[in-house]
Structure 1
Amino acid sequence: MKAPIALTLGDPAGIGPELAVAAWQAMRDTGPVFFWLGDPLLLNDAIPFRLIEKPEDAAETFPDALPVIPITCPVNVTPGQPTSENASAVIESIERAVSYVQEGRAGGVTTNPIAKHILAAAGFAYPGHTEFLAALCHTIGREVMMLASPQLKVVPVTIHISLRQALENLTTDRIIAVARATHTALRRDFGLTSPRLAIAGLNPHAGEEGLMGTEEQTIIGPAIARLKNEGLCVSGPFPPDTMFSATARPKYDVAICMYHDQALIPLKTLDMAEGVNVTLGLPIIRTSPDHGTAFDIASPVGRSTGRADPSSLLAALRLADFMSQHRRGDGQ
């Protein structure tokens, strides 16, 4: 029997609870099976749900009711009005989801969106999910963020830091580490026997042979050479303004980009609805919808305005299940 996916609470004042309900309604007959770690009061009896004590109970419950492992919010939740007083519930939901996967009782974690500034106000010490998950898994520094959609997969070498800091932190060794982690994940969790990695340049026209910057020659080029020597299928550096075109994308499986927006702008432009955030480099599988908390459109469960699109969450749950099967050796 496949292990269920653990879906976290996210910020309770955002669209997470509403999307959890929509996901169960869409998947109850087809799967994949998931359980929600959240406050049952947020569901407002909009759908049938059942409190469960352990992940192993999710499969039997799922066709008839949303399985819920209860996580109580300390204060009442008003949609669209987040408060740091509920940060403890948000954090507990993530911690318990991770522990279930580590114990082999869940196949992966899909995280609903959090509000980083709300958690920071409560003393949360991490820039976001990615770094927190690495700490929980004792793999700090090895976490790698991938954004995946049916049209494109991208991996930024530097993530949640300013552009100035990204330029300072970009090194040959970091590019190599990110590329290795990506190569491993594509083979193990996506079933690609020989992943093709396209490496983006940093400067306009990929530096134009040093006329517009030398990082391609001094930092990126040496990384590509070393990766090729290791037997990885890598190419580049490519000019970032052309490598995401319709004719270029079929020539590679993933684009390794130098900084956050270089990777995320093309992905979100091409496929915001079904984009999925995947954390590589961890001993667990983690996916997340590629959007935020959307406080401006959050509404009480059962009184939905219909503006919260569950497409990305559905894609994230399906991808977590797909990756879990490949990691367990059940993928086709």
Structure 2
Amino acid sequence: MNVAIVTGSAGLIGSESVAFMADKFDLVIGIDNNLRAYFFGDEASTEWNKKRIEDQYANYRHYQADIRSEEEIGKIFAEYGKDIKLIIHTAAQPSHDWAAREPFMDFTVNANGTLVMLEMTRQHCPEAVFIFTSTNKVYGDNPNFLPLVEKETRWEIAEDHAYFKNGIDEQMSIDHTKHSLFGASKVAADVLVQEYGRYFGMKTGVFRGGCLTGPNHSGAQLHGFLAYLMKCAITGNHYTIFGYKGKQVRDNIHSWDLVNMFWHFYQNPRVAEVYNAGGGRFSNCSMTEGIALCEEITGNKMNYSLSDENRIGDHIWYISDLSKFKEHYPNWDWKYDLKTTLTQMYDNISKRV
């Protein structure tokens, strides 16, 4: 029997992974205890998504387990053993603002939880492929020291700085920079995943995501930029832009496109590999441009204001360079552009609010 394990299985990337892998594995195991509701309140609960995937996929089995618990996770791995062929680890505390409130919780979920998942993989199914959803926040605020030019609706890389014309690649330093506590806990996890590959020879892949998005995102003010933006556009709730004149740029990758990257890696895995994963030049926007798109799609004028205070460690301009991944896996490409993704969000969120 071929088994895939997905942590954070009721979240955005987790649930997309379940859907994508359901017809490719005999059994998909989901691990999710809905800590997102604790992090961001009931409006961010993933319970609705858990129910949706349980109803939709007959070969999905859910465990309400805590990834920080060696006992709970160990029992799951012991039950399926070497039948486990793939682990997609997406569970996390995902907000740098929230991390400063409860550093112990943030670190234990992001770093200790990842260590538990890695060690259980090593003990019970060392030949399995281990995929980790990291973040561009591992680069800290180093991207902010690039030569940037202010344009009408966005910040952009200076035209004479050709190295970054396609975005930021994996060679950017993760050292000597301000990460936020969230970024630091994800760095710890990121390096652990690499080290289990290098030290133990395990097939581990690290995917440093830009803004991960899609119609099944339970967006909240502190996390889920596009989903929360669209929610505010639909409901009329106030939205605050933090700093940089609303011209800060984010790339946005649809959850399906990211999981498709995982699938390509699984079919031809490498050891201790690291990839930047985002919308790249194909799918990106500034806050101002994102608001304009939301207004166009909903037909509503957004209720928003601009704060002069930016979030600590926030990026002014971040676009992922996916050249390395596309060189290793030339058959992969993006499927969903920004407007298509936002339209899907509009259709989905309108049914839930």
TM-score over 0.5 for the alignment?
no
- Bigger Rg over Cα: 1
Q: How does the TM-score come out when normalised to structure 1? A: 0.36
Q: How does the TM-score come out when normalised to structure 2? A: 0.35
Higher helix share: 2
